[in-house]
């Protein structure tokens, strides 16, 4: 039988499939469909230091082969997460990535310090959210800004630190190198692309914030290219994501250089998608005679010929 286990930063994932932040909540709703313990991990709803109500107006809008969202990091805040959600998540017996966002550096630092002594396994630092009015995206565009926040957070963080990159960065490879240089233990990429939609009858943007985050199958080829480029530039583990809709997409990201993958918008279309991808990867490996995922990780960047 193929071995789907992946270990990064001394954390063991039973398989490479993680549900992406903001698409799986804290696992409660999806636990009604399948056992989340069968997943490699769960990235929490984006957490901020204090409770956040999120954006007003329309928050989701379908587009061709994709989804625009302007949620605005609605969440209960770190303290409420630790008290009310984390005990439940620990019962799921899978790796927990606490996704942390913030409006300013101090908010990030205080949130991470609160999470340091909890049972979470890793922190995923969100410097790449495109639909909040401050912080988030602002830190993920210029490398100099990212360097500062990653360095400061790393100095107080007691957990393995993953930095989530924005595809809207001025230079994604340079951004990745800067974050690693500043202390990132791993990288996850990519978050949503900046996009917008216009209501032609109302003659105004669909979203109150005008700009929203684009995800779904339409971004996959670009996300895949970015993962490929970053994987060749850095040596830290990479978690790839962006439009993964089935096991074939997941395998592509692994072959592009990802150690692990995250599934986002697909969770809204098919609540069983993450488990389907796990089973699909296993079946593919069995059929192809692949015993370990390390055999195909990054293979698309190497010379390989098949008869």
pLDDT digits (tens, 9 = 90+) for 120-174: 999 999 997 554 544 445 678 888 989 999 999 999 999 999 999 999 999 999 9
Contact in structure between 111 and 68 (CB atoms under 8 Å) = no
Residue with tokens 């978050």: 191
Max Cα distance, the chain (Å) = 58
- Six token digits for residue 209: 């914030």
Task: Provide the phi-psi class of 18: left if phi over 0, else alpha when psi is between -120 and 50, else beta.
Answer: beta
Which tokens go with 62?
């379908």
Q: How confident is the model at residue 154, as a pLDDT?
A: 98
Residue 221 near residue 169 (C-beta atoms within 8 A): no
Torsion of CA 64, 124, 280, 248, to 10 degrees: 50
From CA 291, how far away is CA 288, in angstroms rounded? 9
Query: Which residues are CB-neighbours of 21 under 8 A, at least 6 positions away?
Result: 43, 44, 45, 46, 97, 99, 124, 126, 164
Is 129 marked active-site? yes
**Predicted confidence (pLDDT) at residue 10 exceeds the cutoff of 80:** yes
Q: How far apart are CA 144 and CA 150, in angstroms?
A: 10
Q: Would you call the peptide bond into 190 cis, given omega within 30 degrees of 0 as the criterion? A: yes
User: Which pLDDT tens digit goes with each residue over 196-249?
Assistant: 999 999 999 999 999 999 999 999 999 999 999 999 999 999 999 999 999 999
Residue ranges and CATH numbers for the domains of the chain are 6-55+74-194+218-301 (3.20.20.70)
At residue 134, the pLDDT reads: 47
Percent of the chain whose predicted confidence (pLDDT) is above 90: 90
Query: H-helix or E-strand containing 18?
Result: strand 17-19
Radius of gyration (C-alpha) of the chain in whole angstroms: 18
Rounded Cα distance between 295 and 199, Å, is 48
Look at residues 6, 258, 11, 240 and name the one whose alpha carbon lies nearest to residue 121.
11
Q: Which pair of tokens denotes residue 6?
A: 């992946």
H helix runs in 3-128, sequence order: 78-80, 86-91, 105-115
pLDDT at 129: 58
Which residue among 129, 157, 179, 218 is the active-site one?
A: 129
Position of tokens 């698409």? 23
């Amino acid at each position: 039988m193929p071995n789907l286990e992946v270990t990064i930063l001394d954390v063991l994932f039973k398989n490479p499939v993680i549900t992406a932040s903001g698409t799986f909540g804290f696992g409660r709703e999806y636990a009604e469909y399948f056992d989340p313990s069968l997943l490699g991990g769960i990235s929490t709803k984006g957490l901020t230091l204090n409770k956040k109500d999120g954006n007003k107006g329309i928050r989701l809008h379908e587009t061709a082969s994709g989804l625009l969202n302007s949620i605005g990091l609605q969440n209960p805040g770190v303290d409420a997460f630790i008290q009310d959600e984390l005990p439940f998540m620990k019962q799921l017996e899978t790796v927990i990535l606490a996704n942390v966002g913030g409006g300013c550096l101090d908010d990030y630092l205080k949130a991470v310090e609160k999470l340091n002594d909890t049972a979470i396994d890793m922190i995923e630092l969100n410097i790449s959210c495109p639909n909040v009015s401050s912080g988030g995206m602002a830190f993920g565009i210029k490398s100099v800004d990212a360097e500062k926040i990653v360095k400061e957070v790393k100095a107080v963080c007691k957990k393995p630190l993953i930095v989530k990159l924005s595809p809207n960065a001025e230079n994604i490879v340079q951004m990745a190198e800067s974050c690693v240089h500043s202390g990132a233990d791993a990288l996850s990429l990519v978050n949503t692309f900046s996009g917008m939609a216009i209501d032609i009858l109302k003659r105004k943007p669909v979203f109150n914030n005008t700009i929203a985050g684009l995800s779904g199958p339409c971004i996959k080829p670009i996300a895949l290219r970015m993962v490929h480029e970053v994987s060749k530039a850095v040596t830290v583990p990479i978690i790839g994501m962006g439009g993964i809709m089935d096991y074939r997409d997941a395998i592509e990201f692994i072959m592009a250089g990802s150690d692990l993958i995250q599934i986002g918008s697909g969770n809204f279309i098919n609540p069983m998608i993450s488990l389907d991808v796990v089973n699909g990867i296993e079946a593919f490996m069995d059929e192809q005679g692949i015993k370990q995922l390390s055999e195909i990780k990054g293979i698309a960047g190497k010379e390989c010929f098949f008869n």
